[in-house]
Each structure stands twice: as structure tokens, then as C-alpha cells.
């Protein structure tokens, strides 16, 4: 069992995860505790759905690319919003890392908009039951690293996995060059 919360940290899929939504994924942990489990969103899985079509009231604040991202396999009909705010006292906003936090989309957008700088919308989320994430980390499925606010709003999500690994120290940095198919190496 982990002694501390992973809230606001990144889970980087190791080469042990080689298929599905988590292959080469970067997950921001939004909530984590040892009794309730954890949930987060995949930061590098853009969909083809424009924010304008899904939630037009937020389209002008959407980070580039302005599409809804696939946050994970759980509840794909659920909308999760991460927002960078100018005012940390913004009503309906819960901090996750720095000035980035979860924004309650059920609140009146006109009330929230003055505090919001940019948003990223996710369909669905990634979730783990009590102890499940800890077991996956221990088995070598995830690297746990510090998040940077810019990771959430990366304008080139397809290269986020490599970029996050490249900024790490030691042997972890070497994984940034790991081939998609190691048999072709």
C-alpha cells in the first residue's frame, strides 16, 4: 500500500502495457486514497469529437486541439473537465496540480467563465478499486512521475508519452526511445 496520495501525479504506462487504451498512455491522477481507490484521465487520447459539438458553451476555452479526449474506459458517457483558472477560489473548481483542477460542468458556465483560462474535456475516466492501482504499480505496469500543468493541455498529445519520459532522470529517461514494436529493433 502506498503511504501517500498520488493525486496530481502522472501514471506513465510502461512497456508492460502494450495494448488497448493504456498503451503508451499518460494518466493524470485526479483523486487517490488508500480506502476509496483512484481515478484519473488519459491525457493523450484525443477523439474526433469537437468540443464545439459536444459542449459548445466551453468551445472558446478549449485547449488545442479543441476536441474531447478519451479519458478512459469507465463511464464513456461521463464528461470530465480539467481547467486552468486565474482565480484559485473559483466556485465549482477543485485543484489537482498547480492552477489546474477539475471543473464542475453542471455549474452555470456564465458564473465560472470569468475564472477559467482554458479547459480540456474528457469522455469517461480511468478508475481503480482500493489497492488495484498500487498492485499495478508494484507489478511494473506504471511509472509514477510528477505532473506539469502543461501536460494537461499539451497541443501535441501524440508525443506526450515520450516528452514526459524524456524530462525524467536516470534510466526512466531511456524509455522515451522504447520502440512501438520491440521485435523490429
Q: What is the CA radius of gyration of the chain?
A: 16
C-alpha to C-alpha distances, 91 to 27, 30, 107, nearest whole angstrom: 25, 18, 9
Instruction: Look up the pTM and report it.
Output: 0.93
For residue 1, pLDDT beyond 70: no
What confidence tier does 55 reach under pLDDT thresholds 50, 70, 90? Answer: very high
Residue 155 has pLDDT above 60, yes or no: yes
Sorted by where each begins, the domain ranges of the chain are 9-184
Q: Work out whether strand 67-70 and strand 116-128 pair parallel, antiparallel, or are unpaired.
A: parallel
Tell whether the model's pLDDT for residue 165 goes beyond 60: yes
Q: Which CATH architecture has domain 9-184?
A: 3-Layer(aba) Sandwich (3.40)
Mean pLDDT of 98-126: 90
Amino acid at each position: 500500500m502506498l503511504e501517500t496520495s498520488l493525486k496530481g501525479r502522472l501514471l506513465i504506462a510502461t512497456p508492460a502495457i502494450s495494448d488497448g487504451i493504456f498503451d503508451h498512455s499518460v494518466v493524470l491522477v485526479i483523486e487517490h486514497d488508500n480506502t476509496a481507490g483512484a481515478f484519473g484521465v488519459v491525457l493523450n487520447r484525443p477523439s474526433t469529437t469537437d468540443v464545439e459539438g459536444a459542449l459548445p458553451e466551453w468551445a472558446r476555452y478549449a485547449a488545442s486541439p479543441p476536441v474531447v479526449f478519451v479519458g478512459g474506459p469507465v463511464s464513456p458517457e461521463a464528461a470530465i473537465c480539467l481547467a486552468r483558472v486565474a482565480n484559485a477560489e473559483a466556485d465549482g473548481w477543485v485543484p489537482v496540480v498547480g492552477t489546474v483542477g477539475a471543473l464542475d460542468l453542471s455549474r452555470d458556465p456564465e458564473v465560472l467563465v470569468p475564472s477559467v483560462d482554458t479547459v480540456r474535456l474528457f469522455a469517461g475516466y480511468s478508475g481503480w478499486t482500493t489497492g488495484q492501482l498500487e498492485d499495478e504499480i508494484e507489478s511494473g505496469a506504471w511509472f509514477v512521475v510528477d505532473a506539469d500543468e502543461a501536460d494537461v493541455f499539451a497541443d501535441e498529445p501524440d508525443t506526450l508519452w515520450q516528452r514526459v519520459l524524456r524530462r525524467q532522470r536516470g534510466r526512466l529517461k531511456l524509455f522515451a526511445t522504447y520502440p512501438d514494436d520491440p521485435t523490429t529493433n
